[in-house]
């Protein structure tokens, strides 16, 4: 799962899906046809996960929505984690959150305390991937 922040709220995105935000008041429809029965009235800034799409419409849990009435929310992280040929240990130098994704806007599962020595199996420009899952920011630790 990824985490997207929009209007100071966090939304969790299932793998393989993406989110849309409604940009103007509109309606959702039962079928992939704007003339079909209305299933919901949508307000600006509502957020939905997309389960399917056509050239002009996105399918959400409330129905089909015109693409012109919304915009796609990008995932919060474009960090690419590269596996390391050999793992190593880092020493935590300031209390550091462990995130579910390589992004500070993703869900924090726990905090590593100063002096912790987690093993690293992957890295990106800003994050380390930990052996037992999760990601920490590089600036909160030193190669040990």
66 and 105 belong to one structural domain: no
Contact 28, 36 (CB under 8 A): no
- 20-64 pLDDT, tens digit each: 889 999 999 999 999 999 999 999 988 888 888 999 999 999 999
Picking from 2-16, 60-74, 88-102, 130-144, which range would have the lowest pLDDT averaged per residue?
2-16
Picking from 28-37, 75-84, 125-134, which range would have the lowest pLDDT averaged per residue?
75-84
18 and 56 belong to one structural domain: yes
Residues in contact with 57: Cβ distance below 8 Å, sequence separation at least 6, in sequence order: 29, 32, 34, 64, 65, 66, 67
* Confidence category of residue 119, pLDDT binned at 50, 70, 90: very high
- pTM of this prediction? 0.49
Residues in contact with 109: Cβ distance below 8 Å, sequence separation at least 6, in sequence order: 98, 99, 100, 134
Total domains present in the chain: 2
Both tokens assigned to 68: 């012109």
68 and 89 belong to one structural domain: no
φ and ψ at residue 43, rounded to 5 degrees: -110, 155
Residues in contact with 91: Cβ distance below 8 Å, sequence separation at least 6, in sequence order: 115, 116, 117, 141, 142, 144
pLDDT tops 80 at residue 7:
no
57 and 19 belong to one structural domain: yes
Average pLDDT over residues 95-108: 84
3-state secondary structure of 98: strand
- Which pLDDT score is estimated for 20? 87
91 and 135 belong to one structural domain: yes
52 and 94 belong to one structural domain: no
Full residue range of the structural domain in which residue 128 is found:
82-143
């Amino acid at each position: 799962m990824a985490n997207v922040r929009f209007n100071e709220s966090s939304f969790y995105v299932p793998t393989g899906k993406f989110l849309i935000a409604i940009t103007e008041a509109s309606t959702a429809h039962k079928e992939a046809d704007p003339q079909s029965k209305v299933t919901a009235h949508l307000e600006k800034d509502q957020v939905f996960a997309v389960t399917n799409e056509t050239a002009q419409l996105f399918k959400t849990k409330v129905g089909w929505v015109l693409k012109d009435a919304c915009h796609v929310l990008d995932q919060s992280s474009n960090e690419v984690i590269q596996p390391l040929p050999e793992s190593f240990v880092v020493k935590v130098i300031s209390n550091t959150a462990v995130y579910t994704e390589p992004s500070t806007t993703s869900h924090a599962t726990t905090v590593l305390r100063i002096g912790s020595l987690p093993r690293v199996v992957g890295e990106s420009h800003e994050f380390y991937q930990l052996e037992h899952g999760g990601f920490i920011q590089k600036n909160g630790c030193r190669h040990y």
